[in-house]
Amino acid sequence: MLEQHLPLIPDPKSLLLAMAQQRSVDEVLKLVVAELASSQVVALARIWLIRPGAGCQTCRMRSECPDQTNCLHLVASSGTSVVDPDNALNRIDGSFRRFPLGVRKVGRIAVTGEPLEVQNIDGEPEWLANPKWAKDEGIRGFAGQPLVHHGQVLGVLGVFSRTTIGDQCLDWLRMIADHVASAIANAQAWEEIESLRKRLELENDYLQEELRGESFGDMIGQSAALQMVAQQISLVAPTDATVLVTGESGTGKELVAREIHARSSRHARPLIKVNCAAIPRELYESEFFGHTKGSFTGALRDRVGRFELADGGTLFLDEVGEIPLDLQSKLLRVLQEGELERVGEERTRKVNVRIIAATNRNLKDEAETGKFRSDLYYRLSVFPIELPPLRKRKEDIAMLAEHLLGILSRRLGKQPPRLTQANVAELLRYDWPGNIRELQHVLERALITSPKGKLRFDLNSGENTKATTTPSTSISNEPILSASQLRSFESANIRRALQACDGKVYGDKGAAALLGMKPTTLASRIKSLGITLRD
């Protein structure tokens, strides 16, 4: 008779109302098992959800698992023990943290989608996985409810009772299971929508960043050196080969990456850029591979990494030589196997990404001296492309200047000035240590400061620039600096630039523009020289 059965759920209506008020599915699951376990007749309440197989190597039921593809993961647990009152039974990493699908009572519920309701287990000790535990705890009944939404089983709710389970309690458990399944399905749908929205937002941000980025001349020129680069791009672009672009700062390595991607079969998917020099060391894995909510302090939500964003497209690893040596092995694994795990997640994800890397350092020498992993170097340099400095393709300067003046004039809202032969001669006499980026900055300054219609270049005002002198110029009076003195000179020069720009690195009025350097390169030098903005 019903009146002889103590209730499993003290206040079922209040529980259903409280479930509706929870914001996350984790809160719903913990609330349900905690409320059920608050009953004096419930020994244990647990919820398992179907998820991709993980932790198989240490699973006690591995030998019973059909294929280790999917299994039941214990996600919420609560209860009280009469044998050990201090054991709250809320751990989810114990012996039954995983159940293979179709195996034992919980696994069978997940496969069949049918409840297993044993109101009184007297006389059926073999039916239990741990008969001794059931006897010691005084277990009398078990109710296992599938969590089903639109015909799909999402998991299992299991309750062990110290009293015979009445019909009314079973009705309430079925209703609660339906509400839990709906909460899980809604949360999963919302997470998928949010993940897609965030991914699209990130892709849009990267694309907008690309549009705002500097073109560095759009590969303008007819020199033999540039034509060689164009030939190499034409050869490698249709393939999926990994490309290593080398060259001095400001020669246009990022432009080459964009050209390769644009001419590849992946052009419909995004080109994602990672500035390896600008990533804090502790965030490399998160930046590359993503992370799950709560995986570390500050991880307030799931985050998609750059590799997943570039799935099906191209990933551009700029300043790849700045990746810490001890983290290079993790990058190498993804490049070799096409698999990754987000930080804080056991699930392995497949990615199909083409890699283009860039550096202004000699990675081959660094690999030989142990400063860069040799296996990663050879994996990146399948097809190397070396960009010539501007001083070795001076025949392109006039054409580049004309092209850049047109772009800059439109940006500044000015009438494009005439580039005279005298202007060209002046540009040709300069050695351009900052390459195309420096040329762009010199032209922009000239447009801003020169009288209307006349260009005047300021090629000698900054300590970072130096005009090409004639061979007759004597250098015997110039002091020869040691490596330590050069480092001190560079550090002092950067500090002066930062002070002049009020500590600002990026932007038209930043120290990078003043020094004629790429902002990310300057940031890398600031870091390596130990300069702080307080200096």
Summarised one tens digit per residue, pLDDT across range 431-459 is 999 999 999 999 999 998 877 768 888 88
Q: Is 322:524 a contact under the CB 8 Å cutoff?
A: yes
Q: Which residues share a beta bridge with 98?
A: 73
Question: What are the respective helix, strand and coil percentages of the chain, to the nearest 5?
Answer: 45, 15, 40
CA triple 408-414-416, angle to 5 deg:
70
Residue 64's pLDDT is what? 72
Residue 202's pLDDT is what? 63
184 CB-near residues (< 8 Å, 6+ apart): 25, 28, 49, 147, 149, 154, 155
CA triple 322-326-331, angle to 5 deg:
70
Residue 474's pLDDT is what? 38
144 CB-near residues (< 8 Å, 6+ apart): 105, 106, 109, 115, 116, 117, 156, 157, 158, 159
Q: Which residues share a beta bridge with 249?
A: none
Token pair 């809202």 is found at 413
What is the DSSP pairing of strand 314-318 with strand 354-359?
Answer: parallel
User: CA 155 from chain center: how many Å?
Assistant: 30
Instruction: Single out the residue of 257, 253, 275 nearest to residue 266, CA to CA.
Output: 257
Rounded (10°) angle between helices 12-21 and 167-212: 0
Q: Is 58:30 a contact under the CB 8 Å cutoff?
A: no
Looking at residue 352, the DSSP 8-state letter turns out to be -
In angstroms and rounded to an integer, the radius of gyration of the C-alpha atoms of the chain is: 33
Tens digit of each residue's pLDDT, the chain (535 residues): 333 455 677 677 777 777 766 667 788 888 888 888 888 888 999 999 988 877 676 676 777 777 777 888 899 999 988 888 777 688 887 778 888 888 888 888 999 999 988 888 776 556 677 788 888 888 888 899 999 988 889 999 999 998 888 888 888 888 888 888 888 887 777 767 766 776 776 666 555 555 444 444 457 888 888 989 999 999 999 999 999 999 999 999 999 999 999 999 999 999 999 999 988 888 888 889 988 888 887 777 888 899 999 999 999 999 999 999 888 998 998 998 899 999 888 888 999 999 999 999 999 999 999 999 999 999 999 999 999 999 999 999 988 998 888 888 888 888 888 888 888 899 999 999 999 999 999 999 999 887 776 888 888 644 444 444 333 333 344 445 556 656 666 777 788 788 778 788 877 778 887 777 777 778 877 877 778 765 4
CA distances from 360 to 53, 271, 292 (A): 43, 21, 34
Measured between alpha carbons, how far is 139 from 89 in angstroms, rounded to an integer?
15
Measured between alpha carbons, how far is 468 from 6 in angstroms, rounded to an integer?
95
Task: Read off φ and ψ for residue 160, nearest 5 degrees.
Answer: -105, 125
Token pair 């015979």 is found at 164
Measured between alpha carbons, how far is 206 from 185 in angstroms, rounded to an integer?
31
User: At 161, which amino acid appears?
Assistant: S
Measured between alpha carbons, how far is 90 from 55 in angstroms, rounded to an integer?
20
Tokens linked to 103: 């195996």
**Element spanning 522, H or E:** helix 519-528
Token pair 């897609």 is found at 196
0.75 surpassed by pTM: no
Task: Characterise 254 by phi-psi region: left (phi > 0), alpha (psi -120 to 50), beta (else).
Answer: alpha
Instruction: Single out the residue of 229, 242, 251, 173 nearest to residue 437, CA to CA.
Output: 251
Q: Is 6:40 a contact under the CB 8 Å cutoff?
A: yes
